[in-house]
Amino acid sequence: MKVAVPREIREGERRVALVPESCRKLVKAGIEVTVESGAGSAAFFPDDAYREAGASVGENAASVLGWADFILKVQAPASYPSPGPHEVDAMREGAILLCTLMPSRHPDAVERLAARRITSFATDRIPRITRAQSMDTLSSMANISGYKAVLVAANALPRYFPMLTTAAGTVLPAKVFVIGAGVAGLSAIATARRLGASVEATDTRPAAKEQVESLGARFVGVDTAEVAQDASGYARELSEDFYKKQAELLADRCAASDVVITTALIGGVKAPRLITAGMVRGMKQGSVIVDAAAEGGGNCALTRPGETIVEGGVTICGPLNLPAEMPWHASTLYSRNLTAFVLAFWKDGRFTLDLDDEILRGALVTHGGEVRLATAG
């Protein structure tokens, strides 16, 4: 099997889908790997490192994608700068693609893949089951997003995070409020605690309380009997009554906080609107909101994705693609996830396309010229 790794073309994307460490594993398994020249440069993986790992290096995307049986990418396929072609157009008809496709955000790419009869798998749709933990790119990248979100906040906050005792007196710790205690939220909590902040967190899932408290933070939440996650393990939408009570809680905790970090996503993709303009107006001047869900639309009503603004003395950061800001580790972890996926179905010298398998069925987006999205339970 011939595997191709093209250079990512989306603006600001510094990750690469396969690093030399993982390349060695695929080559050892008998898989031929070709990487587009410069694909790993932004993540500090030079072409020579791939050659040393047993891969060949192609001159451009067309020479890499055109012969590949299996393509590994980070982002969904996109169009090259005008008047360039679309990445899908360079792919061999009938090839297999594995990437963070997020089909609801990239319907055009999905239609193009179906039309070219590409079998595509979205890492963001891999079921959250024990057997698939090593393939979970969403969790790997969310860990980084939570960590980086706190660093963004610390940089924007006009005060210390930790408590300090100085000759000029005692400095009290910053109060940090984290909304959403999934992987990104827990990472944010742990990072803020390491920096010495006083941390509170909330989540729609009561089960998150123990995880939050294990990291030394205080859990605040709404008492509810509603089931807050779907069968895939992702957060789901709840009732209007729940959201009314949640809004009251959020307004109170935002007003008391120096930093608010939001990480809430529904289905791992869609960002619910949680912080209203009124809540922002109720916050202290100099406080900071880092909306780590900006790429999904944002949890704050005033967030401008990709921008940092100041509203009423409150700094609102809407960073996009935080993992790309730490490309070496983000690429390494992402690459390990993709490699685990490929090798899990590599049997007798070929990739076994068993669409009855729970993982492949859940991650499948297009196959045989059709869009084949599985419905989450």
Report how far residue 259's alpha carbon sits from residue 200's, in angstroms, rounded to the nearest whole number. Answer: 10
Selected catalytic residue, list 139, 145, 331, 335: 139
Selected catalytic residue, list 48, 56, 80, 133: 133
Structure-token pair, residue 247? 């809004």
Evaluated on CA atoms 53, 58, 62, 64, the torsion sign reads: negative
- Assess whether 136 carries a catalytic annotation: yes
Selected catalytic residue, list 47, 117, 229, 234: 234
Count of Cβ atoms closer than 10 Å to residue 162 Cβ: 13
Strands of the chain, DSSP E: 2-5, 32-36, 56-58, 70-72, 96-99, 119-122, 164-166, 169-171, 175-179, 198-202, 218-219, 259-262, 288-291, 308-311, 314-317, 346-347, 350-351, 364-367, 370-371
Q: What residues have CB less than 8 Å from 194, skipping those under 6 apart?
A: none
- Assess whether 133 carries a catalytic annotation: yes
Among residues 227, 259, 235, the alpha carbon closest in space to that of 156 is found at 259
- Assess whether 356 carries a catalytic annotation: no
Selected catalytic residue, list 51, 92, 105, 128: 128
Selected catalytic residue, list 75, 116, 136, 334: 136
Burial 29-56 (b: 16+ CB within 10 A, else e): eebbbbbbbebbebbebebebbeebbbe
Grouping H, G, I as helix, E, B as strand and the rest as coil, residue 41 is helix
- Assess whether 229 carries a catalytic annotation: no
- Assess whether 211 carries a catalytic annotation: no
Task: Indicate which residues carry an active-site annotation.
Answer: 128, 133, 136, 139, 234
